[in-house]
Amino acid sequence: MASTLIIKDLHVEIEGKEILKGVNLELDSGKIHVIMGPNGTGKSTLAAAIMGHPKYEVTQGEVLLNGENVLEMEVDERAQAGLFLAMQYPSEITGVTNADFLRSAINSRREEGQEISLMKFIKELDKNMDFLEMDQDMAQRYLNEGFSGGEKKRNEILQLMMIKPEFGILDEIDSGLDIDALKVVSKGINKMRGEDFGCLIITHYQRLLNYIEPDFVHVMMQGRVVKSGGPELAHRLEAEGYDWIKQELGIEDETVGQEA
């Protein structure tokens, strides 16, 4: 079933400071969108605000998932409606095993009495962990506790593959990864690719796109999407950097808080 995620004129503040100044974006399932841009332009804020991060306040605009405004929902309801956010810095939670957490997450999207069977869950977990080249003992370790940076990122992708949301928002899933880990993470994202899955990848490195071919590329500066295009836009950014966009738009300082 085709789904849509529409971001309309989104304005977001943190501690009274406006970070997003009217973001507009439309995503369809089956497509991979990438948001690029230098540091401090509001990319991660966009991801966090869509999911409902407690520190960010939406002051204007809508985020419509299949026509419903998710901004009126609690964080867990947004997830149950089909959103997933792979976080840049996943929390560590002592005493809760990765496996127990994943089962709770999967079952939270199911009706009572329709919970995933333990056998089926274990089978799927084993399969996905193998695919992501993760040690089997990571299932029984406490959630993200003592995981290396790379292990945490793999674990986010494992959750993505287990939960199977309609839209995945991946916030700097590639930062801090060595080339092998980057390949594995990309492999996981490519595996998810399909008609029922839409994806918004936030990155400031072009290198991830050597492994994942995006359908659309957007550039954010000063809290807005300032340019959109196809994969060729990413290639040009790789070759020429961001300066040509700044020149084209008359931007001197691309970070939030600066005006064109």
Partner 1 sequence: MTTQTNFQVDQQAVEAFSKSNNEPGWLSSLRLDALAKAEDLPLPKPDKTKIAKWNFTQFTNHAVDSEVYSSLEELPERIKTLIDADTQKNLYIQRNNTPAYLTISEELKSQGVIFTDILTAAKEHPELVEKYFMTDAVKVDEHKLTALHAALVNGGAFLYVPKNVEVADPIQAVYIHDHPGATLFNHVLVVADDNSSVTYVESYLATDDIKESVVNIVSEVVAKQNARVVYGAVDNLAAGTTTYVNRRGIAGRDSRIDWALGMMNDGDTISETITKLIGDNSYGDTKMVVVGRGSQKQNFTTNITHWGKNSEGYILKHGVMKDAASSIFNGIGKIEHGATKANAEQESRVLMLSEKARGDANPILLIDEDDVTAGHAASVGRVDPMQLFYLMSRGISKHEAERLVIHGFLAPVVTKLPIEGVKRQLSEVIERKVQ
Residue ranges that bind partner 1, judged by CB under 8 A: 51-54, 74-76, 78-80, 84-85, 87, 90-91, 93-96, 101, 104-105, 108-109, 142, 159, 163
Closer to partner 1 by CB, 14 or 163: give it.
Answer: 163
Task: Find the shortest distance in angstroms from Cβ 251 to partner 1.
Answer: 32
Least Cβ distance, residue 79 to partner 1 (angstroms):
4
Q: From the CB of 85, what's the least distance to partner 1, in Å? A: 5
Q: How far is the CB of 177 from partner 1 (least distance, A)?
A: 20
Q: For 8-23, give one letter per residue: b (16+ CB within 10 A) or e.
A: eebbbbbeeebbbbeb
- Residue nearer to partner 1 on the CB measure, 85 or 237: 85
Distance between CA atoms of residues 169 and 50, nearest Å: 9
Question: Where are the strands (E) in the chain, listed by range?
Answer: 4-14, 17-28, 32-36, 56-65, 68-69, 83-86, 93-97, 142-143, 167-171, 198-202, 216-221, 224-229
Measure the CA–CA gap between 159 and 229, rounded to whole angstroms.
Answer: 30
DSSP state of 251: -
Give me the sheet containing 56-65, strands edge to edge. 17-28, 4-14, 56-65, 68-69
Name the minimum Å distance from CB 259 to partner 1.
Answer: 31
For residue 171, give the nearest of 181, 157, 158, 151 by alpha carbon: 157
Query: How far apart, in whole angstroms, are the C-alpha atoms of residue 215 and residue 231?
Result: 6
**Pairwise CA distance, residues 44 & 229, whole Å:** 20
d(CA 234, CA 206) in angstroms, rounded, equals 7
| Shortest reach from residue 154's CB to partner 1, in Å | 16
Task: Provide the minimum distance between the beta carbon of 99 and partner 1 in the complex, in angstroms, as a whole number.
Answer: 13
Nearer to partner 1, 171 or 174 (CB): 171
Q: How far apart are CB 90 and partner 1 at their closest, in Å?
A: 6
First to last CA, the chain: 41
CA angle 206, 212, 218 (to 5 degrees): 55
- CB nearer to partner 1: give 112 or 232: 112
